[in-house]
A and B are shown apart, each in its own frame.
Chain A
Amino acid sequence: MMRLPPIKGEWIDRNTPVDFQFEHTAYTGLRGDSITSALAANGLHIFGRSFKYHRTRGFLSAANHDVNAMMQVSANGRSTPNVRGDVTRVASGWQISAVNTRGGLHKDRFAILNRLSRFLPVGFYYKAFHSKRLFPWWETMFRTLTGLGAVDLKSAHRTTPKRYDFCDVLVIGGGPSGVSAALAAAEQGAHVLLVDENPALGGSGLYAQAGDPSIAAATEAVCARVLSHPRIRVLLSSTAAGYYADHWIPVVTPEAIVKVRARAVIIAQGAYEQPAVFRGNDLPGVLLASAAQRLMYRYSVAPAQRVAILTANAEGYAAALDAVSRGLDVIAVLDLRSARGTDSQALADELTRRGVRLVVQVEPVEAIVGRTGGVAHLRYRVGSTDTTLDVDGVWMSVGFAPANALLHQAGATMRYDVALEQFLPDRLPVGIYACGKVTGHYSLAARMSDGERVGISAATRLDQTEPAPSPSALLAIRECPNHPYPIFAHPEGKEFVDFDEDLQIRDVINACQEGFDSTELLKRYSTMGMGPSQGKHSNLNALRILAKVRGDSLTEHALTTARPMYHPVPMAHLAGRGFMPERQTPLDADHAALGAVWMPAANWRRPEYYAIPGVSREAAIAAEVHAVRHGVGLIDVGTLGKIEAHGPQAGEFLDRVYTARYSNLKVGMTRYGLMLDESGVIIDDGVIARLTAESFYFTTTTGNSATLFREFGRLATWWGLPVGLVNLTGQYAAFNLAGPRSREVLAPLTEMDLSDAAFPYLAVREGHIAGIPCRLMRVGFVGELGYEIHLPFDAGLDLWRMLLESGKAQGIRPFGVEAQRMLRLEKGHVIIGQDTDGVTNALEIDAPWAIKMDKPFFIGQRSLAILAKQPLKQTLVGFKLPASATDRPRECHLIIDGDRIAGRVTSVGVSPTLGHVIGLALVDPTVANRGHFQVRIDHGELIEATVTPFPFFDAAGARQKIGATP
């Protein structure tokens, strides 16, 4: 292989050499070279090893699908795996090695697998894992053998921006049809974005010339008009990686993903040339004719000196003329067909004039490897006569598969056209268009006129809601570009259908015979098309074999839809920051300074307890409980949902939402609220305070605040109640000052009258504490005299610190969620979501005082009326263990009645106040009524618990109402 003389349009810069290393050897390429074109210019033809059998491989497509030429590239202190060697431009200083080898490309120790291939039947992977005993052994082996490049964990962090873009018409593919479509759409006034994966526009219009420069000139003329058009923007070296709903296309550029929203999308992605399947079709030197054309025109590299071209269409003859015009020796053009088409014949006549040997009715027998590891001979058969040619290159041009993955994803339906031997779009979704080879147009003139027609259609139908009438009606097919069955089995195999996964003809046939004889099953069982090129060069041939085995036609089959993103995307492009907010109350830093041990609470974090050095968790929590019961404690409850409801019908609204009555609540008072869903299941609770005749302030549980606030809006809309709802959750801080001495702590800081007469139990007052406007609610949150203080977020930290300072004399202690739970458990206060679950209805927690069935309406009321006629399935009961008990049940331990589960523990702990285990449990009422039940604890032991009424402590509630003696 060697560098050819300069030619117009080549991508290389002959004045700028590029020095790099491949497999620890130094080479020099030119700026603009791909990794493999540079290697080829240096005379190399082996670039990598295949995935399964570790066979040596060279070029296949030179168009982003040479998955056996993927490289590990080290440069600038970063090692990047799985770099596509066939399209990635090489740069100075790169150290490159092939990815899938052990011991280097030429001394790959796993090359032995090539000889073991008959012991690796199709479905080997699944068959291996049948044995449970051998599973670990196989797993280790597969993990060792498989895999491609190595991820460099020490690589520096790289940030990748996300960008957004908008256009009227997005054209995907910058070949002759794509540039024509872009230009036509822009001429209609549309703003066009044109995306192409190559570093230059033009596609095959620039490299498939049939030796005639006028073809490239015609393409270039359109490209030049596109590049200078004020309404066309062009993104090169960029891949449209998927189609998402409503024309939302991620375009992967080298630097970032651009999320493009288009009003119309034109798919002009052309077609992937398909290999012929015959023995040795994977040898280095056997490649697609289009790959050879790309190398000759883009990089001016001769992929061979003596070429045999295996063809079944006019494109193969055109490639032969390209080879001849670039000075290569075409040994023979071997046509699989019995007769040439009209386009082929014209080109064949020209080849004959130039002395090229032409043969028809050819059946390839095998490509044979030579001493250099590349192809050295091609044996073919005509009739019963075998001929062997001495060559160093075999080019295949037997047909194409349309690049229609995005059409599939967009929901287009396809049909197999028998005359063209190709899948064509049948019905296109609204705003989706296709042109060029995708719609079966192969000549340059046909592609350009198809593109122009579709470009006009897309631009002039931008906001129509019906799909375009139909894809392009096919122009008369002068010559079919696709061979119906370019597949030639050999008794010794090694005819490769899938180059990514090393699948041979017999693998496909065996999979079918084992029963996996539909597209989807065949794919999954054989791994056909599951390699890095995602079947772009294998799915169609596999489908042809499948149809042959089944004795039907491709019209009976469909190709699978490649899932987006259908071309590999670097993980860095997909990675990004999380969008789940983490919320903090204003006291967060002070909690940490106080030794908070955190626990998650919805989007927030809350102190579980405050650690004391040298003291156990249990003791620290017990100390917090003790402080609240006998002195005073302070807890941050700023995570609660905090909502205001305003308007003359705000009371009625709350009457409908909650089970109790609020329209009769006196101004300045609060009332507990229990919220049900329509089936009577408890979903939330809170405290509702009436501030004025027409305004209420109320709380929801931490986890439900956002969704409930939203639901309140829906209910107000549905019910037609004009209620003004304000979500103050993030605007207000809140804490609860609780304990017999809480009034002593608060009094010095405020001029408000805190006496029982002026500020009784369950009252709400607005006033100032230390000059800060506050709302205070005297609620029995933990069963002691207590004040829940709500105040502007910004002032929260100041007042928190002042209260802790003011309370020093009273021994004030901050307390966390665990102490709060125990304090509430002692009082038998039900925690929604802990003592209830997603099916617990309001009758089962035995709180008739909270449910006003005589109201006209509340959510869940009608269902409760039905449930009230039925026996309870479960009921919430209290239980206790004697102080002497050493075994402890835990939350969710099961209550066992004989051989059945009769319930579960919902809350449990050793009460520091009472000195023994107390808990709540949801239990079958018949079991609870016996007065005792058995709990299966860790390790399976059963322990006896005694049912006991709750509250466990201060059942009359005297402490919270009038305060206890400290």
Chain B
Amino acid sequence: MKIMTCPINGPRLISEFAYAGEVKEMPDPATASDAVWADYVFNKNGPAGIKHEWWCHTPSGVWFIADRDTTRDIILRTYLYSRPAAGAYAP
């Protein structure tokens, strides 16, 4: 069983974690065109490669980001989410 490292709780069995999709920066709903919005809602980053994903350590409820290389099945890095820098749209 794989091991994932929670940024708060350290390395734990992967069965303690839940996945919640890739990190997608939301376009500004007020200014985004319908096409841009639909792309944000429906299109996923499909090809194998490096993914940035939301993961949760479920017993503690800690949410964080994991960078995974799905071609090698390796977790490259896990870290707490930080809000986009000033200027970018933050929902």
Contacts and interface: CB of A to CB of B under 8 A. Distances in A.
A710 B61 contact: yes
Contact of A720 (B32, B54, B90): B90
Contacts of A245: 1-2, 73
Contact of A857 (B18, B34, B56, B91): B91
Interface in B60-87: 61, 63, 73, 81, 83
B48 interface: no
A244 B32 CA distance: 45
A799 B42 CA distance: 48
Interface string B1-45: 111000000000000001010000000010010100110111000
B41 A679 contact: yes
Chain A interface SS verdict (over half):
helix
B38 A246 contact: no
Contacts of B32: 862
A714 interface: yes
B56 A714 contact: yes
Interface in A263-283: none
B1 A710 contact: no
A257 to B, nearest CB: 13
B41 A713 contact: no
A475 interface: no
A718 B54 CA distance: 10
Nearest to B4: A246
A557 to B, nearest CB: 24
Interface in A701-730: 710-711, 713-714, 717-720
A679 B44 CA distance: 13
Contacts, number: 46
Nearest to B58: A710
B81 to A, nearest CB: 5
Contacts of A261: 3
Nearest to A579: B15
Interface in A847-862: 857, 861-862
Contact of A866 (B38, B56, B81, B90): B38
A22 interface: no
A246 B29 contact: no
Contacts of B20: 710-711, 714
A246 B3 CA distance: 7
Interface string A238-276: 000000111010000000000001000000000000000
B43 to A, nearest CB: 12
A178 to B, nearest CB: 25
A679 B40 CA distance: 10
Given A679-B42, A710-B18, A713-B63, A862 B29 contact: yes
A846 interface: no
B52 to A, nearest CB: 13
Nearest to B75: A246
Interface in A652-711: 678-679, 710-711
A720 to B, nearest CB: 5
A710 B18 CA distance: 9
B54 to A, nearest CB: 6
A713 B29 contact: no
Given A244-B1, A246-B2, A863 B37 contact: yes
Interface of B: 1-3, 18, 20, 29, 32, 34, 37-38, 40-42, 54, 56, 58, 61, 63, 73, 81, 83, 90-91
Q: Enumerate the 6 nearest inter-chain pairs by beta-carbon distance, A residue then B residue, closest first.
A: A862-B29, A245-B2, A717-B63, A246-B3, A714-B63, A720-B83
Interface of A: 244-246, 248, 261, 678-679, 710-711, 713-714, 717-720, 857, 861-863, 866
Given A711-B20, A714-B54, A714-B56, 6 more contacts: A245-B73, A246-B3, A261-B3, A717-B81, A718-B91, A863-B41
21 contacts: A245-B1, A245-B73, A246-B2, A246-B3, A261-B3, A679-B42, A710-B20, A711-B20, A713-B61, A714-B20, A714-B54, A714-B56, A714-B63, A718-B81, A719-B91, A720-B90, A861-B29, A862-B32, A862-B37, A863-B41, A866-B38
